[in-house]
Amino acid sequence: MSLLPTYFFRAFAVVLMLLTSGQANEAKTNETKLKVYLLGTGGPEFTPNRLGYATLVEANGQKLLFDTGRGVTQRLYESRVNPKEVTQIFFTHLHSDHIDGLPTLWMTPWFLLGRQQPLEVWGPAGTTEMVQGMRAMFGHDLKHRVNEFNPPGGLNVAVHEIRDGVVYQRDGVRVTAFIVQHGDGNPAFGYRIDYAGHAVVLSGDTTYNDNVVRQGQGADLIVHNVIAFSDRLTRLPEMQGVLAKLTTPQQAAEVFVKAHPRLAVFSHIVTKELPTGEEGDKIILERTRKAGYNGPLQMGQDRMVIEIGNQVVVVPPQPTEHLPALDSKDSTF
Ligand SMILES: [Zn+2]
């Protein structure tokens, strides 16, 4: 056989493969019921590629944001979500690394992008006081930036201080808050989001907790926090307090084995004395596997998207270099 036909056959096969995968992707996109954006997957630490914790869940046209860690507004923009469209925000707890992105999300889309909608926030006792404090901090803008182009209505913030139970129900989308244990971060909640027979569970910041297992039973996706130190630090007595507030890979394995989600993803990834990037990720995955969890598992990355329908599809972060600027009321992607 000459080389020519083989070459043509190969080229043809590649084109076919692309077409098939293109069609498959389209089918998957069409059936998406819940879309989960991992906007920020870090804790409070500075690392080169993880910003503060924030997760956006999109269901039936509603955009529900869970926590507002450092950089959340930038990550929304990079994820092609116009920050002015995100007005419903749920807080797991009031530690600074979960709320410190709120001021930018509140203020900048209002004066720059023309947001007219007020914010609506849900959070534990103390959320009202936190919002009042934010308003005080931005006293200058409240006094001098309000004008006919930027009416004050878009700066209103309606606060719901919540207990566990169903905290939100609109057009078939339900959000349930459940209690978790986060030491000096208490009161702390995890959340379950239900829509069209599908469910996403966010552990929030917590150590191993049976409520996550209960709520996570049969969920499509569990987004779970994780803390992983070097062996040296793990053994140090003074580190036990920090380790006890979050979930080790071994404890997470126990949650996943018991709850059996279609996919488990780590976010709010806290490490010390571990390499950053892929090398560190590998260590966390290995520890989870070694502890007995063999199901679908993924390290979260900032701007990763998970589409949930008949299938659960992980979409890797998209490049951002050629994104147009969002710099005025009229700008779009
Ligand atoms: Zn945290």
Q: Assign residue 136 the CATH number of its domain.
A: 3.60.15.10
Q: Does residue 192 lie within any of the structural domains?
A: yes
DSSP code of residue 185: G
Q: Does residue 12 lie within any of the structural domains?
A: no
Residue 56 contacts residue 37 (beta carbons within 8 Å): yes
Q: Which residue's entry shows tokens 């993880």?
A: 50
Among 30, 78, 29, which residue's Cα sits nearest to residue 319? 78
For residue 36, give the amino acid letter: V
Question: What is the signed CA dihedral for 280, 283, 285, 286, rounded to 10 degrees?
Answer: 170
Among 74, 72, 146, which residue's Cα sits nearest to residue 116? 146
pLDDT one-digit tens code per residue, 20-30: 333 444 444 55
Q: Does residue 328 lie within any of the structural domains?
A: no
Query: Residue 3 C-alpha to ligand 1 middle, in angstroms?
Result: 59
Which element (helix H / strand E) includes 62?
A: strand 62-66
Q: What is the largest CA-CA distance in the chain?
A: 81
Query: Residue 305 C-alpha to ligand 1 middle, in angstroms?
Result: 21
Among 164, 167, 204, 162, which residue's Cα sits nearest to residue 183? 204
Q: Does residue 85 lie within any of the structural domains?
A: yes
pLDDT at 88 over 90: yes
Spatial separation of the C-alpha atoms in residues 279 and 259, rounded to whole Å: 27
Spatial separation of the C-alpha atoms in residues 69 and 45, rounded to whole Å: 11
pLDDT one-digit tens code per residue, 180-231: 999 999 999 999 999 999 999 999 999 999 999 999 998 999 999 999 999 9
Q: Does residue 2 lie within any of the structural domains?
A: no
Q: Does residue 99 lie within any of the structural domains?
A: yes
Query: Residue 185 C-alpha to ligand 1 middle, in angstroms?
Result: 8
DSSP code of residue 83: G
Spatial separation of the C-alpha atoms in residues 122 and 161, rounded to whole Å: 6
Query: Residue 74 C-alpha to ligand 1 middle, in angstroms?
Result: 19
pLDDT at 19 over 50: no
pLDDT class of 92 with cuts at 50, 70, 90: very high
pLDDT of residue 291: 98
Query: Residue 186 C-alpha to ligand 1 middle, in angstroms?
Result: 11
Q: Cis peptide before 275, with omega less than 30 degrees from 0?
A: no
Query: Residue 44 C-alpha to ligand 1 middle, in angstroms?
Result: 6
Q: Does residue 11 lie within any of the structural domains?
A: no
Total number of domains constituting the chain: 1
Q: How many CB atoms lie within 10 A of CB 31?
A: 13
Spatial separation of the C-alpha atoms in residues 99 and 62, rounded to whole Å: 21
Q: Does residue 136 lie within any of the structural domains?
A: yes
Q: How many CB atoms lie within 10 A of CB 22?
A: 10
With H, G, I as helix, E, B as strand and everything else as coil, classify residue 195.
strand
- Domain encompassing residue 247: 23-315
Q: Is 321 exposed, middle or buried (0-12, 13-18, 19+ CB in 10 A)?
A: exposed
pLDDT at 237 over 60: yes
